Amino acid sequence: MRALVRTVAASRAFRVAAATAAGALAGAGVFQLTRTSGLSLFLITGGIAGAVAALALGAYNRAARLTEVRLTVPQISEFTFVVNDDARQIAWKLFVETVTRVSTQPLREDEGVLREALTSLYGLFATTREILTGSRPSAVVPGRQSVEHLAITMLNRELRPFLAKWHPRLRRFEQAGEGRAEPEWPDAPACRTELQQVQSRIHEYAMNFARLAGVGAANEMIFSRPPER
């Protein structure tokens, strides 16, 4: 026990001594700099400014480094997208939000309710907008698309038309149904069919977000089952 105490004390003493020495060297450097004038002063300050600029430029280059990814957008065409580290973060958030909702999980005839599915899709729509509005827009690269293009296309071509069509119809049934169960809704089969089609395309968008984010084995991540005990 005493040996441990002595070791800790020695370690603390070493850190204090090292910090004191570093502080003394820094103080000596500042003192010498204040006494320097003429060409030497310009050389020293110029060197410091150059080092700071080099570090800042390196950090900027790492953040701004662009990677091209070729993706097929459902029902449209194939495009080349460019992403940097910020765009990958946005794509990762969109991937997580997309795959954890009913939007990509199969809804069989004997399970789930359409109201829950539509509410989940509304939530995905709202969350996607929040992610986009809360992030800085990607840099414009001529002839290339961004993660924002992919997300907005998903909203305007998939979620908005489906919700605009089926939400009012389901709400009218709920308001006039007088307690009738959802399976009694005459439009339920057609709504489920279109929901499955939208789910399939949203799954493709999710895979594209995964590719932009650099996620490996995304399909296995979505459909994996916990190990049996």
Whole-angstrom CA distances from 72 to 15, 61, 69, 193, 204 are: 57, 28, 10, 23, 9
Query: What is the pLDDT confidence band of residue 60, given thresholds at 50, 70 and 90?
Result: very low
Q: Is the pTM of this model over 0.85?
A: no
Structure-token pair, residue 120 = 């989940």
Q: pLDDT value at position 62?
A: 47
Cα 53 to the chain's mean position, in Å?
A: 29
Lowest mean pLDDT among 35-49, 61-75, 153-167, 199-213: 35-49
Q: pLDDT value at position 80?
A: 92
Lowest mean pLDDT among 9-23, 106-120, 134-148, 196-210: 9-23
Q: pLDDT value at position 26?
A: 62
**Helices then strands, each counted (H, E), the chain:** 8, 2
Q: pLDDT value at position 137?
A: 87
What is the C-alpha separation between 194 and 36, in angstroms, rounded? 77
Mean pLDDT of 177-194: 86
Q: pLDDT value at position 15?
A: 64
Mean pLDDT of 172-180: 81
In the chain the beta strands, taken as DSSP E runs, fall at 67-72, 78-83
Which tens digit of pLDDT belongs to each residue from 203-219? 999 999 999 999 887 77
DSSP 227: P
